[in-house]
Amino acid sequence: MPGEVRHFATKGEVERHIEALGLPATVLRPTFFITNFEGLGPQWAGGSLVLTLAVLEQTRLQMITPADIGNIAAEAFGAPADYLGRVIEIAGDELTGPQMAEVFSRAAGRPVPFDSQPIEQVRAFSEEMAAMFDWFNTVGFVADLATLRDRHPYLTTLEGWVRDHWSVPAEPASPAPGE
């Protein structure tokens, strides 16, 4: 578990505590939530939709939906012998910023460019979020997508989530003449 991102480090503390107690457990480590795009999805800027995230263009961001986390957890409860004692990093998709923008472009029916937001802009409003995006860019998640997809073929891709849950945000109103 990364130690420099507080909300990741606290999860690691819980894992170590469970291990120290000798409790039988299965640990699921979800990656970036696809549902974060409900607030972080493309926004209007200068008359265009733009996907702005504080990830480098080449960063491959692994992601998963909360529904898929719940389904895997239910499977673990239903088949404890298959899961007990395992630590599983879970993801349903892995894309770069430009690839994510392409997904939104197809859904929007118009180009949606990707803009790599400088981490210092994020740091200006949240040190914790900046640390997390720094971690995405330098360390990143390491879920084994091929194995996960073999075992859980229903895992949601960004394309599937966007198709089923996202819509183009309303374009801001133009100022009235003379304003």
The full set of domains in the chain, from first to last, is: 6-164 (3.40.50.720)
**Residue 176: which pLDDT band, with cuts at 50, 70 and 90?**
low
Strand 48-53 and strand 32-33: the pairing is: unpaired
pLDDT of residue 12: 81
Q: How many CA atoms lie within 13 A of 79 on its CB side?
A: 6
Residues forming a β-bridge with 43 = 50
Separation CA 147–CA 43 (nearest Å)? 34
Q: Tokens 């009235």, residue?
A: 176
**Residue 178: which pLDDT band, with cuts at 50, 70 and 90?**
low
Mean pLDDT of the chain: 92
**Residue 15: which pLDDT band, with cuts at 50, 70 and 90?**
confident
Q: Which residues of 50-84 are buried (b: 16+ CB within 10 A; e: fewer)?
A: bbbbbbbeebebbbbbeebbebbeeebeeeeeebe
pLDDT at 2 over 90: no
Tokens of 114: 């990707």
